[in-house]
Amino acid sequence: MAVPVHFKLVVRGVFLTTPETWSFSTKYSRDKAGLPDLGSDDVDGPQITTAVTTLLANSHFSSAVAVSDWRMYAIGPDGLMSNPEGPKMVTFTPGAVKGTGTIRFPPQISLCCTTVAANRGPARFGRFYLPGPADAIDTDLRYTDAQAAVYRTLATQFMKDVSNSIDMGLGSSSEGLNISDGPAGSSTGTRQSIDHMEVGRVLDTLRNRRKGLVEARNVGGHIDW
């Protein structure tokens, strides 16, 4: 699979102290014209930690949502990690960075953030799923437009803060990307800069569905038909 070089940030966590896990990822530019591509040493770890904390450690995310770590991968043109030293990584003490909102929905519920580029075709759209939204839904079973705007603002600021942590040097900055290995038969893949973000008002489900929480069924007695 051929793709344009980029950074891939993965944020991972758990729900409470259960085996249930969640993760999401976003992508950023790391290439500079006429100069070597950036690597892990060009990323400011404390700034990313602050970005992750600002995004999730607030009342809009359930207090069950706890961050385990974040990892920044330098991805090469073959779609694989290119930094031989491994990803830049920060691991959090359990429960140190977590939401503060009401535990309102089961752990498979998420909120879909869609990243939208300007041009039609490959890499026009990307998406990631935020775990444990904590705001109550409206009477039409959706978030209001104002509620969705709060989450969109948080997610957009998160991506801006992460891009600012990538040291591109004077006169340039990293940008959020959508990455595709298309169109079919492409030898390079396609990248597009993210123009804006959209957040769906209907709650979604995490792509890695519930698989670790013990179901512990309540069993009834014999039914005397």
In this predicted model, what pLDDT tens digit does every residue of 135-147 receive, in sequence order? Answer: 999 999 999 999 9
In a 3-state reduction of DSSP, which class is residue 48? helix
pTM of the model: 0.93
Cβ-contact 212, 20 below 8 angstroms:
yes
pLDDT, one tens digit per residue, over 151-161 is 999 999 999 99
The more confidently predicted of residues 24 and 167 is 24
User: pLDDT-derived band of residue 84, with 50, 70 and 90 as boundaries?
Assistant: confident
Instruction: Express as a percent the part of the chain with pLDDT over 90.
Output: 79
Phi/psi at 155 (nearest 5 deg)? -70, -40
Predicted local distance difference test score (pLDDT) of residue 215: 75
Predicted local distance difference test score (pLDDT) of residue 210: 59
**What CA–CA distance (Å, rounded) separates 147 from 124?**
25
DSSP states of 108-170? TEEEEEEEEESSSSTTSEEEEEEE-B-SPP-TTSS--HHHHHHHHHHHHHHHHHHHHTB---T
Distances from the Cα of 174 to the Cα of 10, 29, 112, 138, 179, angstroms: 17, 5, 23, 37, 14
The more confidently predicted of residues 64 and 206 is 64
Mean per-residue pLDDT, 87-105: 96
Map out the domains of the chain as residue ranges: 6-205
Predicted local distance difference test score (pLDDT) of residue 197: 97
Residue 211 has pLDDT above 80, yes or no: no
Burial of 74 per CB tally in 10 Å (0-12, 13-18, 19+): buried
Predicted local distance difference test score (pLDDT) of residue 206: 79
pLDDT, one tens digit per residue, over 34-52 is 888 999 889 999 999 999 9
User: pLDDT-derived band of residue 207, with 50, 70 and 90 as boundaries?
Assistant: low
Mean per-residue pLDDT, 104-112: 94
Give the chain's mean pLDDT: 93
Mean per-residue pLDDT, 77-94: 90
Instruction: Identify which of 129, 132, 116, 114 has the alpha carbon closest to the alpha carbon of residue 207.
Output: 129
Task: Enter the DSSP assignment of 51.
Answer: H
